[in-house]
Amino acid sequence: MPRLLVSPLSNLAETLDSHAPSHLVSLLSPEHMIATPMGYAIEAHLKLGMNDVADAAAGTAPPGPQHVEQLLAFARAWDARAPLVIHCWAGISRSMASAFIILCDRLGPDREIEIARAMRQRAPHAAPNRLLVSHADAALGRGGRMSAALNAMGPPVAVEQGVPTVFPLEGL
């Protein structure tokens, strides 16, 4: 079954072993970026160096439009025969935003609220990075629907770290 998996960095090795993905996305601060894991081709590992900030003026290395462009290109090249794993430090914000973006792109327009609610059901801890989603909303021409859908999710359950979460590409 085609699926995305979101994981915190601390569960990455176990997630890779358990699900045998073909592709991996790492969203970490530039100074904490990991090397491509053994057994994975460099071109199957997208490294997006960014900090988890929701305001571009609030810190260094914020998520930018170029990150969304790279993420979308990478995800569109993925054939979905094997899973795609997305991770950040805690598996709560940057990685959940990336999963939301990929799902919105794959499933098409006017499903943003459905996708956001399905994300909340599967991942009560999800708090997608709003700046990353805002850039994707613009890139995909969604007219604010992706950003608005995050409000429809309701508040996340506060945790220090998320748990590995599966998002099917069919039958959300």
- Predicted local distance difference test score (pLDDT) of residue 141: 98
Stated pTM of the model = 0.97
**Percent of the chain having pLDDT more than 90?**
93
Rounded to whole angstroms, how far apart are CA atoms 130 and 150?
A: 8
Mean pLDDT of 140-160: 96
What are the extents of the domains in the chain? Answer: 3-168
Rounded to whole angstroms, how far apart are CA atoms 92 and 130?
A: 12
Residues 84-130 have pLDDT tens digits of 999 999 999 999 999 999 999 999 999 999 999 999 999 999 999 99
Instruction: Indicate the pLDDT class of residue 35, thresholds 50, 70 and 90.
Output: very high
Quick one: which H or E segment has residue 26? strand 23-28
Show the beta-strand stretches assigned E in 63-172: 84-88, 165-168
User: What dotted CATH number matches 3-168?
Assistant: 3.90.190.10
Output the average pLDDT for the chain: 96
Q: Are 140 and 73 in contact (CB under 8 A)?
A: no
Residues 61-71 have pLDDT tens digits of 999 999 999 99
